[in-house]
Structure 1
Amino acid sequence: MGGTMTAEAPPHMAPAQPDGSPWPVPPENGYTVDDFFRLDLPPHTELIDGSLVFVSPQRDFHTMTMFVLERSMQASVPEGFRVRREMAVVLDRRNVPEPDLIVLSAVAVTDRRRTRYDAADVHLAVEVVSPDSESRDRDYKPHKYAEAGIPHFWRVEMSGPHDQVVVYTFELEPTTKKYVPTGVHRDQLKVDVPYPISVDLTEIDRM
């Protein structure tokens, strides 16, 4: 998810609420999960190490890549798994990111009014990198996902002179709690975990 401003910024720099009033000053030790879900926040705000991260407008690449990936993932999802886009995932009391896509256990989907899932329910987190969130999507958030025990991670980037879609896939090494690379996918994404998924990555060029 994109975002260029956190709630730790000076009040005159933080985005205003719809009524023009400033966002609440964060507690001394930052916001917690309970604070996060109690505040009236803009859509897709994330909680990262106790700070609020707001979303910037997304590029066409980001939107269409998410669409192509989600459609293919939904088309082949087996019983026992579910695919969701832009849902909050609680990693710990100070971290609630919103991956672009997740694959989670079907048993976790118990209520259509749910606004969050726990990291223990998630099998795969996907981040489509935006210019203003490169460091978070490439380094910081994968580190947090690995620490929380999410078994698989995909990082999706725009690459080359023709803005090609490239998907980097990773798998958790449980003894070190770190992700190890499992592949770099151009034109065609084909994996067997967390379930067999095949995506024609060139489709975005025809949309």
Structure 2
Amino acid sequence: MATEIADGVWRIECRGVNAYLVFDDVPTLVDAGTPWDEETIRRGLDEAGVEVSSIGRVLLTHYDLDHIGTLAALAPDLDAPVRAYRFDAQLLRGARSPPLGNHKGLIQRLGGLLTDLPDLDVVDVRDGEAIGSFTAYHTPGHTPGHVAYVSEELGIGLLGDLVSESDSDLSPSGWLISYDTDAVAASVRDLAERASPFEVACVGHGDPLASGGSEALVALAARI
């Protein structure tokens, strides 16, 4: 199911996780659900009036089973670069494996048994890089290569799993699903300080905030 949560911003509800479609300079898919969400993604794009082949780029907030899951299945029709930050981009290319010495790395290893890597062009993102109207911000902690994207022009923050939403409030990524919760907290504070103001906060888990996104992030940064 796809829902337009703001002008040109569509939420695609997958299995316990959100993907998004943003009409930027090119139609942009943000994250890609679980390996079992191919039909959901395709149907959601269709409801928003976009074919898979029309996607101009994929913005990946991070490498996890529930965010890269459909990329391999979409690849035959998807002719667009996937943008990801260095560590997570290497995981997506198969150039490295998640570390066994970290509990989240072990979870990712297990998830990798259920996930096919896509035959797509994976392009590294740099901190502070402009991609369309978005600026990329390296926000490590949930994963080493987690990245958030903020568009001042569109008033959107793509926050991935840096935070989650519950009862219209934001919470930082917890210990079980994070590489480093101290780094999560530091990334929340850094993003709240550095990013341009935005109204819409698009989160991986929970409901997106249709307004007051920056304020909610700043409030979270102040209390952690």
The two structures have a TM-score, normalised by structure 1, of 0.28
Q: As a proportion of its length, which structure holds more strand?
A: 1
The two structures have a TM-score, normalised by structure 2, of 0.26
Q: Which has the larger radius of gyration?
A: 1
